[in-house]
Amino acid sequence: MPIGAHVSIAGGIWNAPERAAALGCECFQLFTRSPQGGAAPPLTDEAVTKFRAACEEHGQQLWVVHTPYYINLAAADPKTRANSIRVIREELERASLIGATYVMTHLGSAKDVGEAWGITYAAQGLRKALDGYAGSAQFLIEISAGAGAVIGATFEEVATILEAVDRTDVGVCFDTQHAFGSGYDLRTPEAVAETMQKFDATIGLARLKMSHVNDSKVELGAHKDRHEHIGHGHIGAAGICAFVQHPVLNNLPLILETEDGPERTEDVRLLKAYSSS
């Protein structure tokens, strides 16, 4: 399984592969635009060529794109939903240009419309974003931590949305911290096995394409999105190790999203050690 981390594109998207390699990564995740807002920088032929050459030079096996944080397919405002649909489609096309394997997104908050309408809007939005799409990057829904009225926090919600979207090419990105924050225990091998059995029974393992691997600053079921370095949180080293070693993760890319700093290199080293032991 390739091990990687989210890296910055500061100074140009072609700088991301070198940053990933410096951490010891075999794969990486990136934003192709500011996650907070604003127009996306153009992906010129020169930029794409430099990026792909850098990926090869620095031994990166694959790379994935995360959509901006402001995506909200469940918003009450039709303009917000329409903008989210547009940006998701743009990111799919941009990801295909740079040879990314996956594009994943959070679904957004249904605080102004309620869960039922939020799920309906999210499914409608994803269908529109994917309509006529013929690119190479596959779209993934990311499991959320369930903060506030954010949807996609339970396996049942994600399964309902997948059923409504009705496309076999839509996958799922797991996230250890988000799942833990949503109430799915991952602290022991037995807990990991039970959680993945629940995932299989609702969503289905065939949908699982990759996972974010982060420890958690918050306790089980806290419904907060708070990542921690491996072994320093409430999931703990034993839980993260059990997750990485679970058979369903064989050959799937694992991406860290922990904060910048010297600890990130150690996070990568630990995941590699867990995966090879």
DSSP 193-211: HHHHHHHHHHT-GGGEEEE
The model's confidence at residue 148, banded by pLDDT at 50, 70 and 90, is: confident
Q: Which residues contact 78 (CB under 8 A, 6 or more apart)?
A: none
Q: What rounded mean pLDDT belongs to the chain?
A: 96
* pLDDT at site 73: 97
Tokens of 74: 């469940």
Q: Which parts of 62-207 are beta strand (E)?
A: 62-66, 102-105, 138-142, 171-175
Q: Which residues contact 131 (CB under 8 A, 6 or more apart)?
A: none
DSSP 174-237: EEHHHHHHTT---SSHHHHHHHHHHHHHHT-GGGEEEEE--EESS-TT-----EE-TTSSSSHH
Spatial CA neighbour of 266 closest among 2, 5, 1: 5
Please state which of the ranges 32-46, 71-85, 152-166 shows the lowest mean pLDDT. 32-46
Over the stretch 207-243, which tens digit does the pLDDT of each residue have?
A: 999 999 999 999 999 999 999 999 999 999 999 999 9
Whether pLDDT at 75 is above 90: yes
Over the stretch 160-215, which tens digit does the pLDDT of each residue have?
A: 999 999 999 999 999 999 999 999 999 999 999 999 999 999 999 999 999 999 99
The model's confidence at residue 1, banded by pLDDT at 50, 70 and 90, is: confident
Domains of the chain: 3-276 (3.20.20.150)
**CA gap 179, 142 in Å, rounded:** 10
Whether pLDDT at 252 is above 90: yes
pTM of the model: 0.96
Whether pLDDT at 38 is above 90: no
Distance set, CA 239 to CA 35, 113, 172, 198, 226 (Å): 30, 36, 21, 17, 17
Whether pLDDT at 156 is above 90: yes
